[in-house]
Structure 1
Amino acid sequence: MTHTYHVAGMTCNNCKKSVEEALQKLDKVSKVEVSLESEEVTITMDSHIETQILKNALPNKYTLTENETKNVFKSAEPKEEESTLKQLFPLFLILGYITVSSVLLNIKPFDWNGFMMDFMGLFYIVFSFFKLLDLKGFPQSFRMYDPLAKVIPAYGWIYPFIEVALGLLFLMRFQVTFALILTIIVLGITTIGVTKTLLDKKSIQCACLGTALKLPMTKATFIENTIMLIMAISMLIKTVQL
């Protein structure tokens, strides 16, 4: 077993050597490594040695204290969450711009139906832009989780252009019913793949913003698709009722 301790009072290499030799003389100590820079000593023991015994073995000028044991799993979770949020920041920023733009386009007076169409239109145009930046790399990433792209590789190549077409249809208010139905089909298929990926806990890259931005496949991707699906379904219901 290995334990790390803090040793105060070491100022030179002679101090380092003195600590090493003093601790190495103890029974059950098989290895001693001293870091002068961090003032730490790592001791490999055959069995546990009380901290007080280690203190008594050192000259009085040195003070030995046991380092606080860190919960590796607990400390890793916030870092992982922070890292994920940092990676997803471009996605949140783009969605924020799209939302604000859609609100401003329909604010006087506020038109909820117009807001949803502009949101979906801008969503498709902006997201297709990033996919088209790397038209060769996108299909391969998209195929990792989209069920239809796995079966029909060509679908991954034409998908960005489908998004461009849908974006224009929503922004121009042209063939909206057709655009809504196609949105439900296209995003429905992708959402199934995203859901399966999340349930399988696979760590893959999300291709929603192409390959230019390295986004991890997370719950945010699922929520993003779900919001679009809810908008499309609600608008289609209203259209049918009219």
Structure 2
Amino acid sequence: MTHQYQITGMTCSSCEAKVKGALMIVENVTNVEVSKETNSATITMEKHIALSDFQKALDSKYQISALNHNEIEEQAKSWFVTYKPILFIFFYIILVTILIQYKNQSLNLMEAMQHFMAGFFLIFSFFKFLNLKGFAESYVMYDVIAKQIPIWAYLYAVIELLLGLAFLIGFNPLVTNSITFIIMSLSIIGVLQSVLNKKKIQCACLGAIFNLPMSTVTIIEDALMIVMSALMIIHII
């Protein structure tokens, strides 16, 4: 995609070169054309880049603003495109969960959460096993246990599969939910550290198949599993 921006503060050809050089090194930028005569820049990028990222790349004497697009709308579109795979996965899991409850002609919240978690772990483990080595290489970059014990990344994918099967068949709910609570609580630590430290690394939740950035979406995923397992443990006890 290509967007046009207004840039103030350029006074000479040297300024043009500095601005172009600074914008070109921004991740996902493929081409930049800058003109001090029109105080503008035409930037071609692989995906939408936030205006704040461009401003950070520039010297403080230069100010950049959007010319022919709505920045909020473009960021919303970019967010949806980035997280579309995981949004569709959650949509299908929720849909199946609702249809099962509809077929049973009753709403059983605990049963619904059990089916949701079964679908979650089975689908997410499936994507990890498509490229297990790629998942492990991504996971060791942020998980607190995998950093110290790399083989944990491989075991984690297996554990997710086993948890999915356990939830599906209703195997010992107390044990299954307790393991889920512990595993997901440990997993979220590394995710929180990465997001809070603003590390730009790939999220391994869907393995290495989709290039999803680590973000609050990943935190929500793990937190959701922690909350559901905790509620089910409380219900059982």
TM-score (norm 1): 0.69
Of 2, 18, 28 in structure 1, the residue corresponding to residue 10 of structure 2 is 2
The ranges of structure 1 where at least 4 consecutive aligned residues each deviate by more than 3 angstroms after the TM superposition are: 40-44, 74-82
Residues 109, 154 of structure 1: alpha-carbon distance in 2 compared, 3 angstrom cutoff: same
CA deviations over 1:26-63 (Å, ceiling 9, x no partner): xxx889x9xxxxxx97449xxxxxxxxxxxxxxxxxxx
TM-score of the aligned structures, taking structure 2 as reference length: 0.70
Distance 1:42 1:223 in 2: 44
SS at structure 2 position matched to 1:170: helix
Q: Does residue 1:223 correspond to 2:220, yes or no?
A: yes
CA-to-partner distance for each residue in 1:2-28, whole Å, 9 max, x for gaps? 36xxxxxxxxxxxxxxxxxxxxxxxxx
Could you say what secondary structure the match of 2:171 adopts?
Answer: coil
Matched, 1:100 2:108: no
TM-superposed deviation, 1:75? 6.8
The CA deviation string for residues 100-148 of structure 1, in whole angstroms up to 9 with x for no partner, is: 1111112211211110000001100000000000011111101111111
Taking the aligned partners of 1:219 and 1:115, their CA distance within structure 2 comes to 25
CA offsets 1:75-114 (integer angstroms, 9 cap, x no match): 7665445323311111011001001111111221121111
Tell me, which stretches of 5 or more residues in structure 2 are unaligned?
1-8, 17-33, 39-62
The 5 Å alignment of 1:156-195 reads 156-195=153-192
Structure 1 residues 30 and 155, CA gap change in structure 2 (3 angstroms)? closer
Map 1:1-242 → 2, pairs under 5 A: 2=10, 42-43=36-37, 71=65, 79-107=74-102, 108-240=105-237
Question: What percentage of aligned pairs have identical amino acids?
Answer: 36
Q: Any conservation in 1 of the 2:13–2:36 contact (CA below 8 Å)? A: no
CA 1:182–1:41 in structure 2 vs 1: closer, same or farther (change >3 Å)? closer
- C-alpha separation between the residues in 2 aligned to 1:174 and 1:92? 28
What amino acid maps onto 1:133 in structure 2? Answer: L
Cα pair 2:82 2:212 within 8 Å, conserved: yes
User: Is the contact between residue 84 and residue 216 of structure 1 (CA under 8 Å) also seen in structure 2?
Assistant: no
Structure 1: tracts of 5 or more residues without a match = 4-28, 34-39, 45-68
CA distance in 2, matches of 1:190, 1:75: 37
CA distance in 2, matches of 1:170, 1:41: 60
Question: 2:75 and 2:212 mapped to 1: Cα distance?
Answer: 14
Correspondence for 1:58:
none
Task: Return closer, same or farther for 1:111/1:71 CA change in 2, 3 Å cut-off.
Answer: same
**Pairs aligned (count):** 184
Q: 1:41 to 1:144 in 2, by over 3 A?
A: closer
Q: Is the 8 A contact 1:145 1:190 kept in 2?
A: no
User: What SS does the aligned partner of 1:2 have?
Assistant: coil
CA contact (8 A) 1:169 1:179 kept: yes
Residues 201 and 125 of structure 1, relative CA distance in 2, 3 Å threshold: same
